[in-house]
Structure 1
Amino acid sequence: MQLFNQISWYLFQEWKRYLGSIALLIIIAILQLLPPKLVGFLIDTISTNKKYHYKLFYWLVLIFLTSIIIYIFRYMWRVLLFGASYKLAIILRKKLYLSLSQKNSSFYDKYRTGDLMARATNDIDKIVFAAGEGVLTLIDSMITGISVLIIMVIQINWKLTLISLLPMPIMAIIITKYGKKLYIAFQKSQQSFSNLNNQTQENIKNIYTVKSFGLEKYEIKKFKEILSETSKKSIIVSKIDAKFDPIIYFSITVSNLLSITTGSYLVWNNNITIGQLTSFIMYLSLMVWPMLALAWMFNIVERGSASWSRVNEIISENNIKQMKNKKILHHKSNIKIKISSFQYPNTKNIILKNISQKIKFNNIVGICGPTGQGKTTLINLIQRNFKIKKGQIFYHNVLISNFKIHSWRKKISTVNEKTFLFSDTIANNISFGNINITKKKIEYVSSLVNIHHEIIKFPKQYDTKVGAKGIILSGGQKQRIAIARALLMNREILILDNALSALDKPTQNMIFNNIILWKKQNHTIIIVSHELHIFKKINNIFIIQNGTIKDSGTHDELIKYQNWYSKMYHQQQQK
């Protein structure tokens, strides 16, 4: 029942739909009381030999018309109620997507893709089902149950009603007990389903790696183990779920037995008529639905509540905070980096320390150093992918944390070593983020990265579909398309993080020279690379070793004395 409180904001938002559904359900509940009353009256009329045969046709037509009206009203409330619940699915998925787009990198270190997909699909479906069927069963069972109960007490016999409904409180207690167990079991089942989703997603994503190492049998075995665990959790849920119906049907059977035995005694003593007993038994049959609905409601609402907890966990997880004093960026300026120390969340290893440097606007800056020394970490901090606790990064002498995250990132284009391409055409991948861009501009940036001549060799040229993650392209082609995309965005700050690693030296030099021409005194470029030959024309080079900047300067300055840069440069030249 907690779920209704959790989604109360939506119930109030769509109050017209829900109120309309409730009104129709009340009308239906009242109309359902008419047929048993008419049947009881007919039986009493026939049993007492009263001459009302001429009204028989009238009563039958009335029962038929009542059924037709009930059918129409049932259709109407379904449109209203389920329409509202499906709308909730759209709202929740929008909220979830918006929340995911505002999370920082530490969030994605905590949650896996398959788990997030399970919450966005399976869990939201359970919430929507509870918001539709759950509301229906709650309102319909309450209205039908209360209205039938009033008729049974007032118009037939209160003693018979009391005795017949004795099993109901016991049934309610047992169902409540199992409902709590179902909530816990279903949460575990959903988490197990998320694990299964994770494994499936990773296997499909890395299918070529699995095949290349011949690990199909190993991965199948691992998948079967996770599948078996998921099945066990689902069976536990099913076992608890299976206990609901027997309890309900046993309670109904006992109620019918009590009503017949007690009713027969009352008829024998002339306290009620046979027609009244018949009406009572028909009314009691109408109570079957509220009782079944009660068990069903507990089932779907507890499932929905468990799913809500999982979805709300993601939505309510801290997003990147937007302070009230954020400033919108309209200028171009220098970047100042002052970091005392930095370590990733939930780790103790210090990745960066004692860094104090300036990246001047309109300059090209190179970052190099041994593997695993913090180069990419520094790039992540400039992009505000992680929060710096001991240190700051300034832009135009203002903390970048004081800018709106969207405004700051609109100034940056980044190309990483591991590029991502959408399952779309080459043209759409290059023009990503530029809806109204012309084909001429797409071809221009493609020429800058030396891939235009390769694209036009494809049968459909720029309209060629690249497949999942650009499967039809080579590593070098993917990188060049990603660089073309970044150039087309024409942002103030261009970051290339090992973005040329899959290319040969002549192509690297050609692209770098073209980027210098593209720059046109309007861009700050930061290049991270192990290929030191491209740093010859760079304004400033930072050498990161052991998490700090050991040396800095131009290529000509650094090559003059013994340091990591000069040593590696000479080694690369000898190759």
Structure 2
Amino acid sequence: MSLLWKMRFIIRTYWKQYLFAFLCLQLVAVLNQLPPWLIGWVVDEITTDSLYPEELGLAIGGILVTAFLIYGFRFLWRSLLYGASVDIVREQRDQLFAHFTRMSPSFYQRHTTGDLMAHATNDLNAVEACVGDGIMTLVDSIIAGVTVLVAMVVLVSGKLTLMVLVPFPALAWITSRYGTQMHKHFGQAQARFSDLNEEARETVAGIRAVRAHQLNKRQSERFFQQSRRTVEANRSVGHVEALFMPSVNIFFGLAFVIALMGGAWLIQDGEMTIGMLTTFTLYLGQLLWPMMQLGWQFSLFQRGSASWKRLERLMSVTPDIADKPDAVPAPTRHDLHFDIQAFAYPEAFPAESEELNPARTVLENIRLSVGSGQFVGITGRTGSGKSSLFRLLLREFNLPEDSSITLGGNNIDNIQLQALRSQIAWVPQVATLFTGTIASNIAFYNINASQTDIEKAARLAAIHDEIMAFQDGYNTLLGENGISLSGGQKQRIALARAFLADHPILLLDDAFSALDMKTEATILKNLHALHGHKTVLLITQRLPELIRADQILVLEDGRILEQGTHQQLLEHAGWYARIFRQQARSLELQPLVAVESEKAVSPVQEAP
């Protein structure tokens, strides 16, 4: 019952449906008392040999009319309650999904996808059953039970009613004990289901790797073990449920024995007739149904309560990143300035590599100014902190008070989060595509884009011709995360999406890693055509991509190792120059290196 109290403000929105449903329930309960009374009257008339055919016909007709009325009212209250419960859970599911979209990366580090899916499906289904079937059976049990008891006392015998109620306090105590056990076991069963869900999701998502490395048997065994743990947890729930119904039957069997013995005694004393005893036993049978419903609702409420507790725990998590009360809209200027004294990832969140654990500083003494419309390249060894710069610019994490990133002269911490991210198009190395058509994936940031705009963006990303080669062209349906596409095709669709978004700042995180050199050169040419119109930050390990960058940042262990233009870094003859020449030789770009080196150079800006 505590669940209904917690949800009272949500349920209150639908009070009209619930009130009308309860009125229909009361009418059903009252009408249910008529057939037993008519049957008892017929029995008494038969025992006194005074029943006429017309009277029997009226009694039968009354029972039939009552049955049809009960049918109609039951249909009404069931429709009303089910409709309200579906709407309530729909609202809760929408709120839960919106909550997921507001959460910070650390939230998803603590919760697996399978666990979150279990909350959004199984847990909410259990709550829906509670506010639908649970409330229905609860109110039905109360109204029907009270109405039957009143009929037993008023129409038959208060004395006999008191006799048959003697075993029920013991039944209430046993029910309470079962309830405690049910809540505990069902919470454990839901947790095991979350684990099973995640195991299935991981295997299906990585099915190519599983099959390529012949891991089918191992993954199947892992799933079977998790499945067995889930089954065992649900068996514990079923064991408690199985104990309840037999307990109710035992106590009701005892109540019927008491009714027969007490009724025989009262008939002998002339306090009631055989027909009245017949009516009483039929009423007692009607009382059995609410008690059996009590067992069902007992299970529903315990399941719903355990699920709601899990949902409450999830919904109580607040985002690590949120707007300040005085947050301002995004500025019209798009110059960037990074001033990072030191940054380390929060505890229990992974850094970019195993070497950079959460306790270690990821970025330190970073000073970088990017003018509006400039093209800036960022490079360095794996795990040097490159992607961390992008994550901080996107405000996935908060910076320490002594560090800042500004956009148009405004600290990004003071800019509305949605407004900030609306200025930035981000293309990660591992592209994320969604189930739908290629066109809908490209138009993901701009759902109102025309087909012409979609195709223009695809051409900029050098993917248009390959899309048209598909049988359905831009209407080609993609599977989960574009499973039918190559890595390079996924990257270029993600690039087209970013181009179509037309945000003033473009972040490319190793977004060309799966492309061949010819395709990469085409995209870079298109990208350079946007120079002066978009601020572009490109993370890459392919240094020839940075020849035309306005400035280049070389990171190592979270610090700036080198900083300057391509020409300046070649003259400096450090890490950048060494790696560039190695890559140039492999790409047969030595003539280009010679031409670039002969140009006038200015002193390189050393790392602080």
Q: TM-score, normalised by structure 1?
A: 0.97
1:494 counterpart (506, 513, 535): 506
Q: Unaligned regions of 5+ residues in structure 1, if any?
A: none
CA shift, 1:53, in A, is: 4.8
1:63 is matched with which residue? 63
Quote the Cα distance in structure 2 between the aligned partners of 1:55 and 1:463: 74
Quote the Cα distance in structure 2 between the aligned partners of 1:459 and 1:102: 38
2:324 is matched with which residue? 323
Q: Deviations over 1:505-539 (max 9, x none)?
A: 332222112112134x2211110001111111111
Q: Deviations over 1:419-455 (max 9, x none)?
A: 1222322222212222232222222222222222222
Q: 1:389 to 1:33 in 2, by over 3 A?
A: farther
Quote the Cα distance in structure 2 between the aligned partners of 1:146 and 1:386: 58
1:275 is matched with which residue? 275
Q: 1:475 to 1:252 in 2, by over 3 A?
A: same
2:539 is matched with which residue? 528
Residue pair 1:176, 1:298 contacting (<8 A) in 2 also: no
Q: How does 1:230-245 map to 2 (within 5 A)?
A: 230-245=230-245
2:522 counterpart (496, 510, 524): 510
* Structure 2 counterpart of 1:462, one-letter code: Y
Quote the Cα distance in structure 2 between the aligned partners of 1:352 and 1:235: 51
**What SS does the corresponding residue of 1:456 show, helix, strand or coil?**
helix
CA shift, 1:324, in A, is: 2.4
Matched, 1:339 2:350: no
Quote the Cα distance in structure 1 between the aligned partners of 2:269 and 2:478: 86
Q: Deviations over 1:160-206 (max 9, x none)?
A: 11121111111111111111111111111011001000010111100
CA shift, 1:364, in A, is: 1.1
CA shift, 1:330, in A, is: 5.0
Of 350-359 and 186-195, the range deviating more from structure 2: 350-359
1:555 is matched with which residue? 566
**What SS does the corresponding residue of 1:435 show, helix, strand or coil?**
coil
Instruction: Tell me how many residue pairs correspond in the alignment.
Output: 574
* Structure 1 counterpart of 2:471, one-letter code: P
Quote the Cα distance in structure 2 between the aligned partners of 1:259 and 1:282: 11
Residue pair 2:334, 2:504 contacting (<8 A) in 1 also: no
Residue pair 1:332, 1:492 contacting (<8 A) in 2 also: no
CA shift, 1:545, in A, is: 1.2
Q: Which has the higher contact order (CA 8 A, sep 6+)?
A: 1
Q: 1:51 to 1:100 in 2, by over 3 A?
A: closer
Quote the Cα distance in structure 2 between the aligned partners of 1:271 and 1:458: 89
* Structure 1 counterpart of 2:84, one-letter code: A
1:130 is matched with which residue? 130
Matched, 1:403 2:419: no
2:286 is matched with which residue? 286
2:309 is matched with which residue? 309
CA shift, 1:52, in A, is: 5.2
CA shift, 1:552, in A, is: 1.4
Q: Deviations over 1:268-292 (max 9, x none)?
A: 1112211111111111011011111
Matched, 1:455 2:467: yes
**What SS does the corresponding residue of 1:355 show, helix, strand or coil?**
strand
Quote the Cα distance in structure 2 between the aligned partners of 1:514 and 1:54: 96
* Structure 1 counterpart of 2:220, one-letter code: I
Matched, 1:143 2:143: yes
Question: What RMSD, in angstroms, separates the aligned Cα atoms of the two structures?
Answer: 1.6
CA shift, 1:384, in A, is: 1.1
* Structure 2 counterpart of 1:108, one-letter code: Y
Quote the Cα distance in structure 1 between the aligned partners of 2:207 and 2:533: 43
Q: 1:46 to 1:351 in 2, by over 3 A?
A: same
Residue pair 1:185, 1:237 contacting (<8 A) in 2 also: yes
Quote the Cα distance in structure 1 between the aligned partners of 2:244 and 2:212: 50
Residue pair 2:377, 2:551 contacting (<8 A) in 1 also: yes
Quote the Cα distance in structure 1 between the aligned partners of 2:292 and 2:337: 68
CA shift, 1:353, in A, is: 2.1
Matched, 1:250 2:262: no
**What SS does the corresponding residue of 1:275 show, helix, strand or coil?**
helix
**What SS does the corresponding residue of 1:559 show, helix, strand or coil?**
helix
1:574 is matched with which residue? 585
* Structure 1 counterpart of 2:326, one-letter code: N
* Structure 2 counterpart of 1:29, one-letter code: A
Residue pair 1:450, 1:511 contacting (<8 A) in 2 also: yes
Quote the Cα distance in structure 1 between the aligned partners of 2:471 and 2:31: 68
**What SS does the corresponding residue of 2:571 show, helix, strand or coil?**
coil
**Aligned residues with identical type, % of pairs:** 35
Quote the Cα distance in structure 2 between the aligned partners of 1:131 and 1:51: 48
Residue pair 1:366, 1:527 contacting (<8 A) in 2 also: yes
1:420 counterpart (432, 441, 444): 432
Residue pair 1:114, 1:194 contacting (<8 A) in 2 also: yes
Residue pair 1:492, 1:523 contacting (<8 A) in 2 also: yes
Quote the Cα distance in structure 2 between the aligned partners of 1:37 and 1:364: 90
Residue pair 2:331, 2:407 contacting (<8 A) in 1 also: no
Quote the Cα distance in structure 2 between the aligned partners of 1:121 and 1:535: 48
Residue pair 1:99, 1:314 contacting (<8 A) in 2 also: no
2:603 is matched with which residue? none
Q: Deviations over 1:329-384 (max 9, x none)?
A: 25123222222322222232321222232222211111111101111111111111
* Structure 1 counterpart of 2:333, one-letter code: K
Quote the Cα distance in structure 1 between the aligned partners of 2:44 and 2:344: 86
Of 53-62 and 239-248, the range deviating more from structure 2: 53-62
Quote the Cα distance in structure 1 between the aligned partners of 2:465 and 2:44: 94
1:357 counterpart (368, 371, 381): 368
Q: How does 1:11-50 map to 2 (within 5 A)?
A: 11-50=11-50
**What SS does the corresponding residue of 1:372 show, helix, strand or coil?**
coil
Quote the Cα distance in structure 1 between the aligned partners of 2:258 and 2:50: 31
Q: How does 1:90-169 map to 2 (within 5 A)?
A: 90-169=90-169
Quote the Cα distance in structure 2 between the aligned partners of 1:51 and 1:411: 89
Q: 1:338 to 1:26 in 2, by over 3 A?
A: same
Residue pair 2:43, 2:274 contacting (<8 A) in 1 also: yes
* Structure 2 counterpart of 1:368, one-letter code: T
Quote the Cα distance in structure 1 between the aligned partners of 2:516 and 2:21: 68
Q: How does 1:466-485 map to 2 (within 5 A)?
A: 466-485=478-497
Quote the Cα distance in structure 1 between the aligned partners of 2:365 and 2:5: 51
Quote the Cα distance in structure 2 between the aligned partners of 1:470 and 1:134: 42
* Structure 1 counterpart of 2:376, one-letter code: V
Residue pair 1:366, 1:538 contacting (<8 A) in 2 also: yes
**What SS does the corresponding residue of 1:337 show, helix, strand or coil?**
strand
